[in-house]
Amino acid sequence: MEFEMHVLSGVPDLRHPVFTVLIVILLACFASSSLDDAASARQISRQVGTYSDRVDSSERLGANGSSGYILTARSSNRGLYITMVIRGSVAAKLGLEPGDVLLQLNNKVVSSATEADRILAAAPSGQLHSVFVKQASGALNCYNQTISYTNDSPSESSSTGATTIRRDVTLERIQTSVPIQTLESYLCEIVNSDRAANGVGRVSLSSGLSSVARAHAEDMIKRGFFAHVNPSGMDPRARAAAAGYNVDVAENIATKNGPMSPQQKVAGCEATMMAEPKDDPHNHRGNILNPKFVCVGIGCAYGPGGAVYFAQEFSATPVP
């Protein structure tokens, strides 16, 4: 999944060498099926970090996170630093919480949210094995956790010569029959639900700004870009002015693909935005919860493979 916000400061991509999970950390873990058992954890000295501020969503895991790592006295290990867990998800059943680092699923390194989706798509129904760490004061608690797992939409593999091509069979069943305006209204209700949960008043859905947002979503697909400034050099305010709305706007844009409904895609993007730091008024979350905004334009469009693109145009000036 990709997403952007208006007024986005650049964050350097802090690259680290690819580390493999060493046997030393696995030896430090106790086999366990319950996080409530104190004997299931062992403390090890620690340092936890992430490679960048980018947060992605794993739909199959049911969690958001960043590519991260842990450093111990004797090893370095890649993992998925968890920032948000959906109730009832695979991640929740494993006992993962924000701040945890997921290292392995079925003996495979989980280096990103995308990798978690790939592993879970290929995993057979049955037992799902995991290795993860939870942060404690001055140490990490390391767990081996096994749960029952049902793969309702497994991936298929086909081989041609030495090349293996993977495809997710559910991608062929992606429905794009949800009317665009229905999807836009649904996303507006999610926005207002997030605002209400944070003590902020509702925004009205602006038909005019929705046309601006929809045109931008369609343009990103048509001209193959993903940015606030289009190839013609027009930023959100310029695009709104060209449509006859001379108002300041704050824009969020997002896109998501995968084996899920259009509603799940836009809801997943919104959840990822809301998981951003609370103290930054200029990030996606800050735009969504800004109490000065009174209306929003929401525009959605379907891209190749069932991908959903959308733009949100927030304004402090009422626009019909």
Per-residue confidence (pLDDT) for residue 258, from 0 to 100: 75
Please check whether residues 135 and 54 belong to one and the same domain. yes
For residue 166, pLDDT beyond 70: no
Please check whether residues 100 and 207 belong to one and the same domain. no
| Of residues 277, 299, 298, 280, the one with CA closest to residue 290 | 280
- Over the stretch 252-291, which tens digit does the pLDDT of each residue have? 999 988 777 888 889 989 998 999 888 888 889 999 999 9
Whether 24 maps to a domain, the answer reads: no
- Over the stretch 92-127, which tens digit does the pLDDT of each residue have? 999 999 989 999 999 899 988 889 999 999 999 999
What is the spatial distance between Cα 136 and Cα 22, in angstroms, rounded to a whole number? 21
Whether 51 maps to a domain, the answer reads: yes
Instruction: Compute how many other C-beta atoms are within 10 angstroms of the C-beta atom of residue 260.
Output: 18
Which of 96-105, 153-162, 233-242, 262-271 is predicted least confidently?
Answer: 153-162
**What average pLDDT does this structure show over 148-152?**
87
Whether 157 maps to a domain, the answer reads: no
Whether 39 maps to a domain, the answer reads: no
Spatial CB neighbours of 253, under 8 Å, sequence gap ≥ 6: 3, 4, 5, 216, 217, 220, 226, 227, 228, 309, 310, 311, 312
Please check whether residues 196 and 144 belong to one and the same domain. no
- Over the stretch 50-66, which tens digit does the pLDDT of each residue have? 776 678 889 899 999 88
Please check whether residues 65 and 192 belong to one and the same domain. no
Is the model more confident about 35 or about 221?
221
Please state the domain count of the chain. 2
Please check whether residues 115 and 195 belong to one and the same domain. no
The per-residue pLDDT of the chain, averaged, comes to 79
Per-residue confidence (pLDDT) for residue 75, from 0 to 100: 60
Please check whether residues 192 and 259 belong to one and the same domain. yes
Please check whether residues 144 and 96 belong to one and the same domain. yes
Percent of the chain, pLDDT > 90? Answer: 46
Please check whether residues 218 and 306 belong to one and the same domain. yes
- Over the stretch 169-212, which tens digit does the pLDDT of each residue have? 344 344 566 889 999 999 999 999 999 999 999 999 999 999 99
Whether 246 maps to a domain, the answer reads: yes
For residue 26, pLDDT beyond 90: no
Please check whether residues 188 and 298 belong to one and the same domain. yes
What is the spatial distance between Cα 123 and Cα 149, in angstroms, rounded to a whole number? 9
Whether 155 maps to a domain, the answer reads: no
Instruction: For residue 224, give the CATH number of its domain.
Output: 3.40.33.10
Phi, psi for 318 (deg, rounded to 5): -60, 130
Per-residue confidence (pLDDT) for residue 154, from 0 to 100: 63
Give the pLDDT band of residue 232 (cuts 50, 70, 90).
very high
Whether 108 maps to a domain, the answer reads: yes
How many angstroms separate the Cα of 245 from the Cα of each of 60, 86, 207, 211, 219? 41, 38, 11, 11, 19
Whether 27 maps to a domain, the answer reads: no
Give the pLDDT band of residue 304 (cuts 50, 70, 90).
confident
Is the model more confident about 168 or about 94?
94
**What average pLDDT does this structure show over 1-29?**
41
DSSP the chain: -EEEESS---------PPPPPPHHHHHTPEEES-TT-GGG-EEE--EEEES-S--EEETTTTEEEEEEEEE-SS-EEEEEEEEEE-TTSHHHHHT--TT-EEEEETTEE--SHHHHHHHHHHPPSEEEEEEEEEEETTEEEEEEEEEEE--SS-EEEEEETTEEEEEEGGGGG----S-HHHHHHHHHHHHHHHHHHTT----EE-HHHHHHHHHHHHHHHHHT--SSS-TT---HHHHHHHTT-----EEEEEEE-SSS-HHHHHHHHHHHHHTS-TT-TTSHHHHHH-TT--EEEEEEEE-GGG-EEEEEEEESS---
Domain boundary among the residues 126, 149, 172 is at 149
Give the pLDDT band of residue 80 (cuts 50, 70, 90).
very high
CB 103 within 8 A of CB 131: yes
Please check whether residues 54 and 101 belong to one and the same domain. yes
Instruction: For residue 94, give the CATH number of its domain.
Output: 2.30.42.10
Is the model more confident about 226 or about 166?
226
Please check whether residues 125 and 199 belong to one and the same domain. no
Is the model more confident about 17 or about 84?
84
Q: Which two tokens stand for residue 198?
A: 């944070």
Give the pLDDT band of residue 314 (cuts 50, 70, 90).
very high
Per-residue confidence (pLDDT) for residue 178, from 0 to 100: 84
- Owning domain of residue 72: 44-149
